[in-house]
Amino acid sequence: MSLAHAPVLHREAIDGLQIKPDGRYIDGTYGRGGHAHSILEKLGDKGRLVIMDRDPEAIAAAREVLGEDARVTIIHDDYANMREQIGELDLLQKIDGILLDLGVSSPQLDDASRGFSFQKNGPLDMRMNPHAGPSAAQWLAQAGEAEIARVLWEYGEERNSRRIARKIVELRSSQPIDDTATLAKLISGLLPRPGNNKHPATKSFQAIRIHINQELTQIQSLLESVFEILRLGGRLAVISFHSLEDRLVKRFFKSQSSPPRIPRGLPLRDSEIELNIRLKILGKAIKAGAKELAENPRARSAVLRIAERAA
């Protein structure tokens, strides 16, 4: 497959997994298959790829293109449930690599009917699985002012969170906020355009999306289960686009790759100290180079971190 629009940090992520022809790998965020196809190019007949995505459109695309490939297993589910799904396949602690490309995919952003972007008007949905949980419009229609402000501040780091929440509650009493243009106009009317020329609604849309899809909880659930999924020496590669996502991954990697802090003066021999180092961090965080940044502005915030299971 020719990748006209390769995912951000694509080659770095694939190289970081060090794919073996007979290995077993998981693409936990299929999207439109850029990573999956590159993994399959490196797999032989005995290799295996498990594809997961919670977006039914992504799964439909995977089945259309890869449904006949005997090496591929396609699962419609959140990657937070990876441990359970891999257990059903009897592959726990037999996986050689997991790849996650976090956040919203380009097809999701480009489809106005999904409600992720304010570039084109569409229903205010934002669900990665449109058949699960409340939409953004439904949440905004019933959430309290304090809750809305908290979400905008915690997940969007929006300094004007309280003003925006107050205006949302005020407006919804007279008209529904059920399309992206209405919400974007509300926020633009309150805030000046930032000096970096970003749309004033950028942080709020991002925050609401993260909340609606419980994205940080999803990441945490996956991280806590990787030792049950990966074999010794298996690798985890995570591409994040938001500082909160990257912070979760960075802290987890550090906590699992550092020896415990031992109070000074304790009468312990080195052999008596349980190091409990479970991960080996492979290199520094990787960011897009100048060429990729010129070709794809979305790569600005991308960070790739790779670690290997050590125990």
Total domains in the chain come to 2
Residue 238, H or E segment:
strand 230-240
- Same domain as 207, residue 88: no
- Same domain as 94, residue 35: yes
- Same domain as 204, residue 157: yes
- Same domain as 229, residue 97: yes
Asked if the structure places residue 114 within a domain, the reply is no
Question: Among residues 192, 212, 232, which one ends one of the domains?
Answer: 212
- Same domain as 226, residue 167: no
- Same domain as 91, residue 26: yes
- Same domain as 102, residue 18: yes
- Same domain as 139, residue 160: yes
Which structure tokens are listed for 1? Answer: 């497959």
For residues 284 and 280, give the distance between their C-alpha atoms in angstroms, rounded to a whole number: 12
Question: What is the structure's pLDDT at 1?
Answer: 41
Residue 16, H or E segment:
helix 10-17
Asked if the structure places residue 166 within a domain, the reply is yes
Question: What is the structure's pLDDT at 159?
Answer: 93
Comparing CA positions, the residue from 150, 139, 151, 145 lying closest to residue 166 is 145
Question: What is the structure's pLDDT at 114?
Answer: 85
Asked if the structure places residue 116 within a domain, the reply is no
For residues 85 and 293, give the distance between their C-alpha atoms in angstroms, rounded to a whole number: 36
Question: Residue 91: is it exposed, middle or buried by C-beta count within 10 angstroms (0-12/13-18/19+)?
Answer: middle
Q: What is the pLDDT of residues 16-70, one digit of tens each?
A: 999 999 999 999 999 888 999 999 999 999 999 999 999 999 999 999 999 999 9
Question: What is the structure's pLDDT at 2?
Answer: 40
CA dihedral (200, 247, 305, 295) in degrees, to 10, reads 10
Distances from the Cα of 196 to the Cαs of 21, 203, 287, in angstroms?
45, 13, 20
CATH at 193: 1.10.150.170
Query: Vertex 180, ends 212 and 77: CA angle to 5°?
Result: 35
- Same domain as 40, residue 27: yes
Question: Among residues 191, 212, 233, which one ends one of the domains?
Answer: 212
Which structure tokens are listed for 21? Answer: 């022809």
Asked if the structure places residue 111 within a domain, the reply is no
8 Å CB contact between 98 and 185: no
**Residues of the chain whose pLDDT is less than 70?**
1-5, 110, 194-196, 260-275
Domain extent, residue 296, equals 10-106+216-309
Question: What is the structure's pLDDT at 5?
Answer: 54
Question: What is the structure's pLDDT at 266?
Answer: 62
For residues 216 and 36, give the distance between their C-alpha atoms in angstroms, rounded to a whole number: 23
Asked if the structure places residue 50 within a domain, the reply is yes
Asked if the structure places residue 1 within a domain, the reply is no
Comparing CA positions, the residue from 22, 152, 155 lying closest to residue 97 is 22
Name the phi and psi angles at 220, rounded to 5. -60, -40
Distances from the Cα of 254 to the Cαs of 44, 179, 310, in angstroms?
34, 41, 13
For residues 178 and 197, give the distance between their C-alpha atoms in angstroms, rounded to a whole number: 26
Question: Among residues 162, 190, 212, which one ends one of the domains?
Answer: 212
- Same domain as 238, residue 181: no
Asked if the structure places residue 5 within a domain, the reply is no
Q: What is the pLDDT of residues 204-229, one digit of tens each?
A: 999 999 999 999 999 999 999 999 99
8 Å CB contact between 66 and 1: no
- Same domain as 233, residue 283: yes
- The pTM assigned to this predicted structure is 0.88
For residues 145 and 116, give the distance between their C-alpha atoms in angstroms, rounded to a whole number: 22
- Same domain as 196, residue 137: yes
Asked if the structure places residue 112 within a domain, the reply is no
